[in-house]
Amino acid sequence: MLSRRCLIAGSMLLLCAMLPAIGQEFHSADTNEDRKIQVIEINRLVAFYNASAYHCDESTDDGYAPFEGSTTCAPHDSDYNSQDWRIAITEISRLVTFLNADGYRANPDTPDGFEPYLGGEGEGEGEGEGEGEGETILLPGDVPLAMVWIPEGSFLMGRYPGEEESYYYEDPQHEVTFASGFWLGKYEVTKRQWEAVMGSTPWAGLRYVLDDPDTPAVHVHRDAIEAFIGALNGYTGLTFRLPSEAEWEYACRAGTTTRFYWGDDPGYILLDDYAWWVCTAWAIGEQYPHAVGLKAPNVWGLYDMSGNVWEWCQDDYLDHYNGAPTDGSTWETPGSIVGVMRGGAFYTLGDDCRSALRCGVYRSLVGTSIGFRLAR
């Protein structure tokens, strides 16, 4: 059974909340102004969370103090949800993305006026397998391809019992164990990378495509993707491939067991921070995939695992997990013409961005909302 919900956006008018943004040089939580959020600085906000409120106090490092009092100064950056002079747990969780990204920069289009930032392509990454958490491979023309090392381990694949807005074809939840780690693309494959390897631009002149080389490569057929991977392997001498569905979900979850890799987020309060979806893209007239890496990453440093474009996996699609491999390998069935896509896209609803959400579609399908990420 094909998942029609994965191919089209619902024909319904959505009210997407526009949250206030605060633009200042340093985030209020960054009390030592080093453009990094540290655990001790997050702990500072826990005091605000545990108190009934916070107020202005010029004698403190950040200009605020727990409990009610004067509210004549600007609200704390982390108090972006309703500017109610209270810090919610979801607002503290927002800063965890800055902690994991090891830095931040100003961005007036985000709820608090800032976004995670790693300081540039390749900075702080290892030079090869086993040498750090990442590697950067140079494609023709010195175009970088960043990969992240995904460690060995086990996880529960599929929806958890009672998961909100989940579907039967995410059952049964089952344990998958990876005896060894693997590499996965830090970002979706971009137009710049595709053109460097293939010398072609299949998306040129088509609707709903942004003229930006750092947006995902779209309108690429599965056969063309296989040709890209073959050419890439010939150039690098490595063994790139599409990820298995189990690898994709394991890397997406990054050790979490909730609906999303930032929590259950039942009201989609934090979804805007992590994903290009209908409320941050389609509904506001930005009806195209956006440049990779602009939203917050998961805790393993992977970007756009939710939203932006659907990502192909290598597996064939079945509408259940009965008999699925438990070692993380690809699940293939003879003669199948239906494949698996994951992650949601720039026009999809919030539940399509869940870690367990899966889609079965014909492999012949191409479009502006379908891309891919590399593994090896």
Q: Which amino acid is at 111?
A: P
Residues 213 and 130 in one domain: yes
Residues 170 and 227 in one domain: yes
Nearest CA-CA partner of 26 in 112, 97, 100, 84: 112
Q: Distance between CA 32 and CA 16 in Å, rounded? A: 35
What Cα–Cα distance (Å) separates residue 48 from each residue in 54, 79, 96? 6, 10, 16
- Which CATH number do you get for residue 188? 3.90.1580.10
Q: Distance between CA 360 and CA 245 in Å, rounded? A: 12
Q: Domain count for the chain, please give it.
A: 2
Residues 112 and 142 in one domain: no
Residues 144 and 279 in one domain: yes
Q: Are the C-beta atoms of 314 and 241 separated by less than 8 Å? A: yes
Q: What is the pLDDT of residue 109?
A: 65
Q: What is the pLDDT of residue 170?
A: 97
Q: At what angle do helices 222-236 and 191-198 cross, to 10 degrees?
A: 70
Parent domain of 176: 125-371
Distance of CA 178 to the CA centre of its chain: 22
Which residue, 98, 116, 134, sits at the end of a domain? Answer: 116
Tell me whether residue 14 is in a domain.
no
For 341, phi and psi rounded to 5 degrees? -120, 155
Q: Are the C-beta atoms of 241 and 374 separated by less than 8 Å? A: yes
Residues 104 and 165 in one domain: no
Q: What is the pLDDT of residue 58?
A: 87
51-71: pLDDT as tens digits = 888 999 888 888 899 988 888
Q: Distance between CA 363 and CA 336 in Å, rounded? A: 9
More confident residue, 307 or 1: 307
Tell me whether residue 50 is in a domain.
yes
Residues 364 and 278 in one domain: yes
Tell me whether residue 6 is in a domain.
no
Strand 143-150 relative to strand 134-139, pairing? antiparallel
Q: Are the C-beta atoms of 85 and 79 separated by less than 8 Å? A: yes
For 241, phi and psi rounded to 5 degrees? -165, 175
Q: pTM, whole model, 2 decimals?
A: 0.70
Tell me whether residue 376 is in a domain.
no
Sign of the dihedral defined by the CA atoms of residues 295, 352, 316, 256, in that order? positive
Which residue, 116, 146, 166, sits at the end of a domain? Answer: 116
125-177: pLDDT as tens digits = 333 333 337 899 999 999 999 999 999 999 999 999 999 999 999 999 999 99
The per-residue DSSP string of 153-173 comes to: EEEEESPPTT-TT--GGG-S-
